[in-house]
Amino acid sequence: MTLENEVEDIQKERHEFETLLGHQKKQIASQFSEELEEKFWNDRQARICKLIISAFIPASIFYLIFEIISLPINYFTTEAQFRNHDVFMTLISYTTGWVALLCIYIMAKHPIWKNNYSAIVSTVICISLTIVQSVLFLTQSLAMTWRGTLIIIFALMFAYMCSGLRPLHTFVAGIIAAVLTCIVLGLTAKHVPPWVLFNVMILGNLVGLGLAILTVSTERVRFLQSRIIELDKKLYEILNKHLTTISQQDTLTLLGNRRSFKYQMEEMIQWTQQSQSSLAVLFIDVDFFKMFNDVYGHQQGDLALVRVAQTLKRHISEDDLAIRYGGEEFVIVLVNTNLQESKQIAENILQDIRDQKIVHEKSEISAYLTLSIGMTLYKNKQMAYDEILNVADNALYESKRLGRDRLTYLEI
């Protein structure tokens, strides 16, 4: 995929998210496409699971403190004849709540169970609410019953806001728990005014559902905004990478340029020292190139340089380095090589250019374009990159002195 197509795709996707964001801000209950909807709920569940894991110990401590404070209050404010029964019922509700919290924590903590998170947590909430509602409505003291309704409301709000379930799933679990609670109360012949049951269990679920929907709507906005930010970051990274590549690339030949050559060369020298191998440097010059430009023009001169660059790339591996050093000069760095292999590559390059028969009427040595190459071989010696390059440059000078269209090797 080309850079233009990649940027266009990202901008198109970003525009789609911005359109969805506008709809979401206007309409609370709007939904996404099936694929995006699934990503949203998975993202929401993952975030809440992380929150549950990090908050479990503080929440458990807070819950324990709440029990320590509330149990004596319940004990001493309950009529003596109901005290033992009602405090025992309260203990059951508290224990059930803690067990439910522990189950949700375990589900959130272990990835192997996350695929079944929704089904299992919905079941846990349904059973827990049924037990908590039943035992608190079965208390005999009126004061304890009223305090129990507050605990039930608190449990419902926790289920809707902190469980990580979809609001509709929590609502279904809450309504089933309400029905089961009514069955338990009927079987035990416990009379609770219908309006109390309705206000606590039905209105409590409706209020929880409404709050959860509002919260989810806000989370949808946050989700879309985060996706837009991610796309902006991705676009920035692509453009930044492209600009970095351009800054380190010769725009004509698409080889590397001198800007990044020092850093790449130093890395290759370091690797050569560590691996106890050899590194060859080839300094290459196009013979009588100024005359070529004068006769055929700069456009033909540029095409000739491109053909030379393509020739160099054909004869080196992906681990090697080829750059346009400046004007008609090129440098090749061959890693993990030896003298014989390096000389063979250089001779192959010279012959390849000869075989292409690029006409050069003003050349003093041939009717066609030719190259001169100076080469040296570096073998794990303490030298700076420019010192190695100078040896190859001196070898190139010697090739020109000896008549050009040839390879000259100088030892370091």
Q: What is the pLDDT of residue 79?
A: 85
Q: Angle, nearest 10°, between helix axes 167-187 and 117-137?
A: 30
* pLDDT tens per residue across span 108-126: 888 677 778 889 999 999 9
Instruction: Please say if the pLDDT value at position 388 is more than 70.
Output: yes
Task: Give the C-alpha separation, 168 to 180, whole Å.
Answer: 18
Report whether 380 contacts 396 (CB < 8 A): no
Q: Angle, nearest 10°, between helix axes 142-162 and 203-247?
A: 20
For the residues 324-335, what does the mean pLDDT come to?
94
* pLDDT tens per residue across span 244-286: 777 778 889 889 888 888 888 888 988 888 888 999 999 999 9
Nearest to 127 by CA among 97, 167, 88: 97
Q: Is the pTM of this model over 0.85?
A: no
Q: What distance separates the 2 farthest-apart alpha carbons in the chain? A: 122
Cβ neighbours of 1 (radius 10 Å): 8
Cβ neighbours of 37 (radius 10 Å): 12
Instruction: Please say if the pLDDT value at position 29 is more than 80.
Output: no
The CA radius of gyration of the chain, in Å to the nearest whole number, is 39
Nearest to 346 by CA among 383, 288, 276, 396: 396
Instruction: Please say if the pLDDT value at position 398 is more than 70.
Output: yes
Average pLDDT of the chain, as a whole number? 90
Instruction: Please say if the pLDDT value at position 347 is more than 90.
Output: yes
Specify the amino acid at residue 214: L
Q: Helix, strand, coil proportions of the chain in percent (round to 5)?
A: 70, 10, 20
Instruction: Please say if the pLDDT value at position 84 is more than 70.
Output: yes
Report whether 188 contacts 146 (CB < 8 A): no
Task: Give the C-alpha separation, 309 to 329, whole Å.
Answer: 10
DSSP-assigned states of every residue in 90-103: HHHHHHHHHHHHHH
pLDDT band at 1 (very low <50, low <70, confident <90, very high): low
Q: What is the pLDDT of residue 42?
A: 87
For the residues 198-218, what does the mean pLDDT come to?
93
Q: Count how many residues are written for the chain.
A: 412
* pLDDT tens per residue across span 159-187: 999 888 999 999 999 999 999 999 999 99
pLDDT band at 5 (very low <50, low <70, confident <90, very high): confident
* pLDDT tens per residue across span 122-162: 999 999 999 999 999 999 888 888 888 999 999 999 999 98
Q: What is the pLDDT of residue 67?
A: 85
Q: What is the pLDDT of residue 322?
A: 94
Strand pairing class (371-378; 279-286): antiparallel
Q: What is the pLDDT of residue 334?
A: 95
Residue 342 CA, chain-centre distance (Å), reads 42
Q: What is the pLDDT of residue 111?
A: 66
SS3 annotation, 193-220: CHHHHHHHHHHHHHHHHHHHHHHHHHHH
Task: Give the C-alpha separation, 297 to 223, whole Å.
Answer: 58
Query: Exposure pattern of 19-31 as b/e (b: 16+ CB <10 Å)?
Result: ebbeebeeeeeee
Q: Angle, nearest 10°, between helix axes 203-247 and 167-187?
A: 160
Angle at 238 between CA 235 and CA 242, to 5 degrees: 140
Higher pLDDT, 239 or 343: 343
For the residues 56-85, what does the mean pLDDT come to?
87
Contact partners, residue 226, CB within 8 Å, separation at least 6: none
Q: Where are the domains of the chain?
A: 3-234, 258-409
Strand pairing class (329-335; 407-409): unpaired
pLDDT band at 33 (very low <50, low <70, confident <90, very high): confident
For the residues 326-339, what does the mean pLDDT come to?
93
CATH number of 258-409: 3.30.70.270
pLDDT band at 412 (very low <50, low <70, confident <90, very high): confident
Q: What is the pLDDT of residue 308?
A: 96
Per DSSP, the three-state class of 332 is strand
Instruction: Please say if the pLDDT value at position 17 is more than 90.
Output: no
Specify the amino acid at residue 246: I
Q: What is the pLDDT of residue 391?
A: 95
Nearest to 127 by CA among 174, 86, 163: 174
Q: What is the pLDDT of residue 241?
A: 83
Higher pLDDT, 195 or 245: 195
